């Protein structure tokens, strides 16, 4: 279903990109996502799975590099173009949109470091990859530390609390030992990780380090892919590190810069997830609208009932709020450096909540049919539920955002670079 675009500044080029993305979403991504949704997590990543077709075709279209600058071989898109493409892919599948975003993430962050060695070794080959064979992931969550990673409360400076993932310096190398949790998106199939670890034990969890770690090396092993309620097309699983050695320049962030870098990474991830919610919510709204025009109750189509129109209008309003706010935030935070994290956190938490409400209401509007696997809404509902937890539990992100308000508000317009 076509939709009116609230962004009046879309150029001809933007609209043609949107059309290409929409065709791809409709013809390739959604059918593949629905196939993967009913497969076991092991089959999703098995040889011959349609997952690999999705990745290959996405890479052929250059969608793995939508966040990356043209100078390194990326698409060099404007924030609005990124938003439009991401919305279309998430309309087809929140899980596969997340996989694509995660795949790009280590390389996107490597660009932000502007370290020539990282760019040449990792970013350029990734941008040149057109068959899906180079895939990133963001490995932050650990078995014993999920929300802890987002917190800056006093316990994070307690040296008695240790991360599961340890990094120790040895000459001009770092030695990595430990594990990441089963929640890492793309964890069992990624070739590279943006890896969060503890680089200074004396500082507790605040002694964090961030590195790029190739995963197809000795000492890295993977767990089983996780089985879950939603985003079943999104591979997730544990990664283990046993005496893995990396050169010191792969560790591009040490504890001195760690809090700032963590907020920059969160700002990018949360802003991107906000965009995805507009696609998922729109998909649910469209299903509800179509059904309300077809289903007859009380002798007339549902949409003829005043209360149903009111419910549809509320859903429509929420879709547009997801779209407008997440686009405004990506436009802000992808145009300034450093970003203002609380805006990204607000986009992720509010838009994922609205998206969940829209998918839930769509299910209600479809009545019993909404619960069946013949329809698409129950999948959207399950996928949207995950977004309240992925990239940080909403309530924890809100507490973190609230701390930023307490420290920095009001911010000054002149402080922007
Ligand atoms: C779809 C999806 C994709 C994901 N992708 C990735 C990925 O690519 N990489 C990755 O590393 N991880 C990923 N995750 C993991 C995700 O980031 C974590 O699940 C999330 O940060 C929460 O951590 P947890 O599951 O350990 O929950 P916990 O941190 O254990 O939280 C459990 C509950 O306790 C509450 N809570 C926790 N701490 C506090 C506190 N201090 N005060 C008050 N309440 C608290 C939380 O709000 C929550 O309700 C993904 C998760 C999902 C669902």
Same CATH topology for 12-128 and 259-415: the answer is no
Q: Which helix (H) or strand (E) holds 169?
A: strand 166-170
The mean of the pLDDT values for the chain is: 97
pLDDT, one tens digit per residue, over 290-309 is: 999 999 999 999 999 999 99
Best residue among 186, 205, 396, 402 to mutate for probing ligand 1's pocket (most ligand atoms within 8 Å of CB) is: 396
Pocket of ligand 1 (CB under 6 A): 98, 102, 137-141, 146-147, 151, 183-185, 231, 386, 389-393, 395-396
CA torsion 135-262-110-339 (nearest 10°) is 110
Residue 305 CA neighbour count, 13 Å, CB half: 16
pLDDT band per the 50, 70, 90 thresholds, residue 417: low
Architecture of the domain delimited by 259-415? Up-down Bundle (1.20)
Atom of ligand 1 nearest to the CA of 150: 21
pLDDT of 416 strictly over 90? no
CB crowding 256-279: b at 16 or more within 10 Å, else e:
eebeebbbbbbbbbbbbbbbbbbb
CATH class of 12-128: mainly alpha
pLDDT band at 336 (very low <50, low <70, confident <90, very high): very high
- Quickly state the pLDDT bin for 414 (edges 50, 70, 90): confident
Tens of pLDDT along 93-141?
Answer: 999 999 999 999 999 999 999 899 999 999 999 999 999 999 999 999 9
User: What is the distance in A from the centroid of ligand 1 to the CA of 389?
Assistant: 6
Question: Would you say residue 80 has pLDDT above 90?
Answer: yes
Condensed to tens digits (0 to 9), the pLDDT of residues 230-258 reads: 999 999 999 999 999 999 999 999 999 99
Q: State the CATH architecture for 136-257.
A: Beta Barrel (2.40)
Report the C-alpha gap between 25 and 279 in whole angstroms: 11
Ligand 1 centroid to 390 CA: how many Å? 7
Q: What is the DSSP letter of 372?
A: S
pLDDT tens-digit readout, 377-390: 999 999 999 999 99
Q: What is the distance in A from the centroid of ligand 1 to the CA of 146?
A: 5
Ligand 1: which atom is nearest the Cα of residue 141?
11
Task: Evaluate if residue 1 carries a pLDDT over 80.
Answer: no
Cβ atoms 31, 97 nearer than 8 A: no
Pocket test for ligand 1, best of 195, 355, 390 (most atoms within 8 A of CB): 390
Q: Delimit the domains of the chain by residue range.
A: 12-128, 136-257, 259-415
pLDDT digits (tens, 9 = 90+) for 130-159: 999 999 999 999 999 999 999 989 999 999
Q: What is the pLDDT of residue 413?
A: 83
Interval 152-184: pLDDT, tens: 899 999 999 999 999 999 999 999 999 999 999
Residue identifier of the C-alpha nearest atom 50 of ligand 1: 390
pLDDT of residue 3: 84
Q: What is the mean pLDDT of residues 259-282?
A: 97
* Closest C-alpha to ligand 1, atom 4: 390
Degrees to nearest 5, angle at CA 196 with 130 and 273: 60
Residue pointed to by tokens 């791809």: 24
Its pTM stands at 0.97
pLDDT at 377: 98
What is the 266 CA–ligand 1 centroid distance (Å)? 13
């Amino acid at each position: 279903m076509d939709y009116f675009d609230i962004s009046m500044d879309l150029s001809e080029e933007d609209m043609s990109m949107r059309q290409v993305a929409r065709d791809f979403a409709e013809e390739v991504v959604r059918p593949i996502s629905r196939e993967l949704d009913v497969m076991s997590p092991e089959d999703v990543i098995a040889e011959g799975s349609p997952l690999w077709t999705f990745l290959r075709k996405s890479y052929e279209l250059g969608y793995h590099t939508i966040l990356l600058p043209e100078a390194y071989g990326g698409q060099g898109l404007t924030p609005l173009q990124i938003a439009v493409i991401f919305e279309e892919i998430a309309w087809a599948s929140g899980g596969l949109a997340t996989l694509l975003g995660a795949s790009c993430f280590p390389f996107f962050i490597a660009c932000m470091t502007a370290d020539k060695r990282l760019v040449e070794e990792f970013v350029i080959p990734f941008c040149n990859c057109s068959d899906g064979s180079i895939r990133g992931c963001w490995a932050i969550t650990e078995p014993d530390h999920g929300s802890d990673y987002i917190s800056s409360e006093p316990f994070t400076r307690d040296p008695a609390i240790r991360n599961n993932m340890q990094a120790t310096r040895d000459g001009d190398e770092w030695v990595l030992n430990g594990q990441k949790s089963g929640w890492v998106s793309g964890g069992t199939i990624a070739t590279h990780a943006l890896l969060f670890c503890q680089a200074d034990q004396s500082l507790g969890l605040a002694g964090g380090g961030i590195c790029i770690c190739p995963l197809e090396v000795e000492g890295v092993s993977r767990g089983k892919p996780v089985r879950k309620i939603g985003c079943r097309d999104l591979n997730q699983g544990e990664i283990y590190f046993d005496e893995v050695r990396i050169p010191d320049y792969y560790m591009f962030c040490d504890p001195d810069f760690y809090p700032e870098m963590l907020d920059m990474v969160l700002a990018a991830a949360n802003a991107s997830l906000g965009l995805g919610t507009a696609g998922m919510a729109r998909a649910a709204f469209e299903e509800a609208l179509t059904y309300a025009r077809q289903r007859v109750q009380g002798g007339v189509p549902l949409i003829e009932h005043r209360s149903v129109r009111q419910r549809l209008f509320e859903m429509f309003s929420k879709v547009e709020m997801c779209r407008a706010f997440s686009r405004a935030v990506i436009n802000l935070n992808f145009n300034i450096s450093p970003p203002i994290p609380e805006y990204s956190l607000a986009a992720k938490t509010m838009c994922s909540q609205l998206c969940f409400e829209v998918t839930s209401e769509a299910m209600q509007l479809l009545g019993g049919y909404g619960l069946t696997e013949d329809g698409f809404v129950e999948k959207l509902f399950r996928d949207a539920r995950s977004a309240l937890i992925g990239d940080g539990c909403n309530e924890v992100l809100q507490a973190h955002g609230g701390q930023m308000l307490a420290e920095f508000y009001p911010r000054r317009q002149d402080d922007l670079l």
